[in-house]
Amino acid sequence: MNVSGSTIFLRLAGLMQSWGTSSQFQIRRTDGYPSKSGVLGLLLCAMGVSRADSSRELEALRPLAMGVRVDRAGNSDWDYQTAGAKIGIRSADGKIKVTDSTGEFETLLSRRQYLYDASFLVALQGPLEVIQACADALEDPVWPVFLGRKSCIPSEPVLAGTGDFHDIHQALSSIPWQGRPGEIGRSGEGPEVTLKAYIEHTDPSTPPPRDARIVHDVPRTFGFHSHDARSVISDTVTVSVRMPPRRVGPGSRTRRPDYASGQWREARLSRLEADDYLCVFCKSEAREVHHVTYENVGEETNTDLRSLCRICHDACTMLEYGRDLRLRRVDPSAPEQRGEILEQITKILSERRMGRRRELLETSRLIRSDLSDVAPVG
């Protein structure tokens, strides 16, 4: 991958994440945003570098300046875990630990904290060749990458792009914030939103602010736990809001058109009048209006709609069932779709004729049954 500058962006989003910087042993906490050791470990996994052989690559990655933007803070909760039951846990001298009272293998109990449903944008700045190597690794990772622990799998591609920016703050401000359908506008956001950011202080000529947080998360080596400290500044960034794509398909939770709204009634009437109330497929009387795209739901124009009779509309709708068409739908005015629409109309008419025939036969059977129950006169 050819990068466009000395900054790489990582999208760290998933059902679960855990970024510990201070806890060990039985109680394993997580910070509220990704740690530098966790991010560098993720990059080394993508490069296929083991813990024992990471010294050279780690020396190149340690100086990278890092910033984190909190796009969705998520929630935290604890998981109770056990390890070593029936297989044993080895002590520092290599012996398997046993419980004195029972003589059975000792079980290690631990409580581990996770972030749920969080999303972060991480920016790393450094020499172009290092950024290039990181982008290449994330584009085609050698080993699977995780969000702090192996049980925490990313829900979307980690590589979110590259660019050339003056500093981390400018980089984090350049990527629009994209909320989920329903998040944007529900909380009163306008065209911009202000988000929390945690930016590493890297200017050696000035001391860090007094309220900067000292975090021991710059790994010296991954062979054993040994970290240097860095100063992290709590800041905010104001970014533009990008509307999420309106994906409509089977199982989609994206809103459908509001057929009771005044906007839809006006759009429907405009399309029917433009087509002289004639079906665009068979030229019979049109009573329905069909979407050929859901890209402009709530702001439909005539190009998004087609006038159809009831049978042609039913045929187009039935063709869409079971197909993951997303935004683009069946277009009855497209010549390449005419054949399958005709085939579907034939099926509908055949089924309706069969249904009508069954109704007539059932009515005839009931009449004969009623007549047979009537006693003869005389």
- Cα-to-chain-centroid distance, residue 225: 33
Architecture of domain 262-358 in CATH? 3-Layer(aba) Sandwich (3.40)
Q: Is there a contact between 348 and 315 (Cβ–Cβ < 8 Å)?
A: yes
pLDDT digits (tens, 9 = 90+) for 208-219: 999 999 999 999
Looking at residue 285, its pLDDT comes to 93
Burial class (CB in 10 A: 0-12, 13-18, 19+), 366: exposed
Q: Please give the Cα distance from 318 to 87 (Å, whole number).
A: 58
Asked whether the predicted pLDDT for residue 251 surpasses 50, the reply is no
Judged by average pLDDT, the poorest of 4-8, 111-115, 189-193 is 189-193
User: Residue 347: how many CB atoms within 10 A of its CB?
Assistant: 12
82-86, 96-100, 118-122, range with the lowest pLDDT: 82-86
State the first-to-last Cα distance of the chain, in angstroms, to the nearest integer: 100
Domain at 7-81+108-240, CATH class: alpha beta
What pLDDT score does 375 carry? 56
Asked if the model's pLDDT at residue 248 lies above 60, the reply is: no
Is the pLDDT assigned to residue 164 strictly greater than 90?
A: yes
| Cα Rg of the chain (Å, integer) | 32
- The pLDDT of residue 244 is above 60: no
- Predicted confidence band of residue 162 (pLDDT cuts 50, 70, 90): very high
Mean pLDDT, the chain, rounded, equals: 84
Residues 6+ apart with CB under 8 A from 59: none
pLDDT value of residue 294: 84
Instruction: Look at 361 and 229; give whichever has higher pLDDT.
Output: 229
d(CA 191, CA 177): 10
Pick from 130-134, 220-224, 250-254: least confident: 250-254
Q: And the tokens for 377?
A: 């006169």
Is 250 a residue whose pLDDT tops 50? no
Residue 249 reports pLDDT greater than 80: no
Residue 174 burial class via C-beta count within 10 angstroms: exposed 0-12, middle 13-18, buried 19 and up: middle
Tell me the DSSP string of 248-264: -STT--SPPP-TTSHHH
- CA 177 – CA 160 distance, rounded (Å): 13
Find the length of the chain.
Answer: 378
Percent of the chain with pLDDT strictly greater than 70: 84
Q: What is the DSSP letter of 105?
A: B
The token pair at 262 is 């005044």
Decide if pLDDT at 173 tops 50. Answer: yes
- Token pair listed for 43: 């990059």
| Max CA pair span of the chain | 122
Inform me whether the pLDDT recorded for 183 exceeds 70: no
Q: Please choose, from the candidates 293, 309, 306, 321, the residue with its C-alpha nearest in 3D space to the C-alpha of residue 345.
A: 309
- pLDDT tens by residue, 281-305: 999 999 999 999 888 888 889 999 9
Mean of pLDDT values over 262-271 = 91
Q: Which residues, in sequence order, are bridge partners of residue 79?
A: 112
- The whole-angstrom separation of Cα 355 and Cα 345 is 15
Higher pLDDT, 103 or 276: 276
Spans of all domains in the chain: 7-81+108-240, 262-358
Average pLDDT, integer, range 331-354:
87
Which 3 state secondary structure label does DSSP give 71? strand
CA neighbor of 82 nearest in space, from 110, 40, 102: 110
What is the rounded distance in angstroms from the CA atom of residue 340 to the CA atom of residue 315?
Answer: 9
